[in-house]
Amino acid sequence: MNVKLSTFAFSVFLIVPTWLYFTQPGGGRSASTTNSKDRTKTYRSAFIAVHAVYILYRIFFGAPVNLFSALRLPFNAPPDVVRETLLLVAGDELKELPPVLEMLLKRLNSFDARTYYIRFGHDTLLKCQHCVGFYDYALFAFPRPFFEYVREAAVVGFITTRRSGRLRWRKFAVGILVLAAVAEAYLTMTKILIVDEKTRTKTTSLHDRLWLLRHLLFFVLPPVLFLLPPSPETVSPLAASLPQLTVLADQTLARIHLLKYTRGAVTRNPALRNNVAEWWERERTEGEWATSDDEVKELAAKLGMDLADGDEGNEPGALRKRARMAVEGLKGAFRPSDFLQT
């Protein structure tokens, strides 16, 4: 235990500060973060460091138990030999085994139960009291690794948010997790154990190896995702058009001011006032020429643009209706600016 604890502490103090130093904004050359994006990156880096410490703790102190490999016994060792070896290892502190272990050794009298032990692990065979056959143990064993993969998918989702710029890597990371889960389930259902054929004293269950590979994947995947290059920042079309809209708005405002001052100047200058009156009179005369021509009226009626005045209770023409509707719509949408009323 002391060796494990020392190795774990050394790994943590070596990996975590190095990771935080080289992943902070500025690559370790800046001691502070000045904007929210840098702060978010720092928090995400710290989260990955905490996640790595948790996975390391699981690897060092949460590895699954295997009686045969721990006691250096062959896979086909009789239950009595396993019992005696356990009592020998325990020494004088343990005179007899707990009832749970006795039940486990009783189950190990069956060769099928031993294959379930190697296939699904120590905890499954020890804790599943109601399990009898293969599918009972499988249903009991599969939820735990499944939820571990779901938890890791949530970690991947946190690392690959849209704001991080790594959203494009999310589907690949989740695909890796899905493939790993399917491969683990397939190997668990089809393979049984790996035996050292030379000594016959060490039996490594496939469950233990898959557990270790799963946690190594969980340990490596988040830092790799964090170190992958982010997507280039894209500017939305609306944001790209904002400068042009600003220039257009400034030009429109200048034209409105010019129109206001020009109209005022026209009314004060007699020559300009006479020119304006003449222009409007000419426009009125030309309009009367067009609207009083019978051929023009007939052609306009055929085109759905009737020019009837609507006087003396008559229905106005389609063209005049459209013109009035357009004017009413403009009047309803128009709100004079307080700034222009100076």
pLDDT digit string, tens, across residues 68-121: 888 888 888 888 888 888 888 877 767 778 888 888 888 888 888 888 888 888
208 burial via Cβ count (<10 Å: 0-12, 13-18, 19+): buried
22-26, 34-38, 76-80, 256-260: which has the minimum mean pLDDT?
Answer: 34-38
**172 within domain boundaries:** yes
Contact 17, 74 (CB under 8 A): no
Do 74 and 217 lie in a common domain? yes
**281 within domain boundaries:** yes
Tokens of 108: 């190990």
Model pLDDT, residue 195: 52
For 256, the 3-state DSSP assignment is: helix
Do 186 and 274 lie in a common domain? no
CA–CA dist 4, 26 (Å, integer): 35
Contact 107, 113 (CB under 8 A): yes
Element (H, E) at 204: strand 203-205
CB half-sphere exposure, 187, CA atoms < 13 A: 18
Do 169 and 116 lie in a common domain? yes
Q: Give the helix ranges, DSSP H, for the chain.
A: 2-23, 36-61, 67-70, 79-90, 99-107, 111-120, 122-127, 134-141, 143-159, 170-190, 206-227, 237-268, 270-292, 294-302, 318-333
Sign of the Cα pseudo-torsion (3, 9, 14, 16, in order): positive
What mean pLDDT do residues 173-191 have?
A: 92
**35 within domain boundaries:** no
Residue scoring higher pLDDT (64 or 92): 64
Do 253 and 287 lie in a common domain? yes
CA–CA dist 11, 6 (Å, integer): 9
Contact 307, 320 (CB under 8 A): yes
What mean pLDDT do residues 275-292 have?
A: 81
What mean pLDDT do residues 222-231 have?
A: 87
CA–CA dist 221, 152 (Å, integer): 9
DSSP 8-class letter at 93: G
Please count the structural domains in the chain.
3
Do 247 and 341 lie in a common domain? no
Do 174 and 148 lie in a common domain? yes
- Cα–Cα distances in Å, from 220 out to 55, 173, 227, 272, 297? 10, 11, 11, 82, 83
Q: How far is CA 197 from the centre of its chain?
A: 47
Do 169 and 118 lie in a common domain? yes
Predicted confidence (pLDDT) at residue 215 exceeds the cutoff of 80: yes
Model pLDDT, residue 342: 47
Contact 55, 211 (CB under 8 A): no
Predicted confidence (pLDDT) at residue 170 exceeds the cutoff of 80: yes
Which of these three, 176, 195, 227, is where a domain ends? 227
Contact 156, 225 (CB under 8 A): yes
What mean pLDDT do residues 254-260 have?
A: 80
Do 101 and 184 lie in a common domain? yes
Do 271 and 327 lie in a common domain? no
Predicted confidence (pLDDT) at residue 28 exceeds the cutoff of 50: no
Tokens of 164: 């991080």
Do 106 and 138 lie in a common domain? yes
Do 157 and 130 lie in a common domain? yes
Looking up tokens 């995400």 gives: 44
Mean residue pLDDT of the chain comes to 81
Contact 219, 56 (CB under 8 A): yes
**Angle between helix 143-159 and 206-227 (nearest 10):** 10
Residue-range definition of the domain harbouring residue 254: 241-292
270 burial via Cβ count (<10 Å: 0-12, 13-18, 19+): exposed
**266 within domain boundaries:** yes
**149 within domain boundaries:** yes
CA–CA dist 111, 96 (Å, integer): 24
* Percentage of the chain exceeding pLDDT 70: 83
Do 256 and 195 lie in a common domain? no
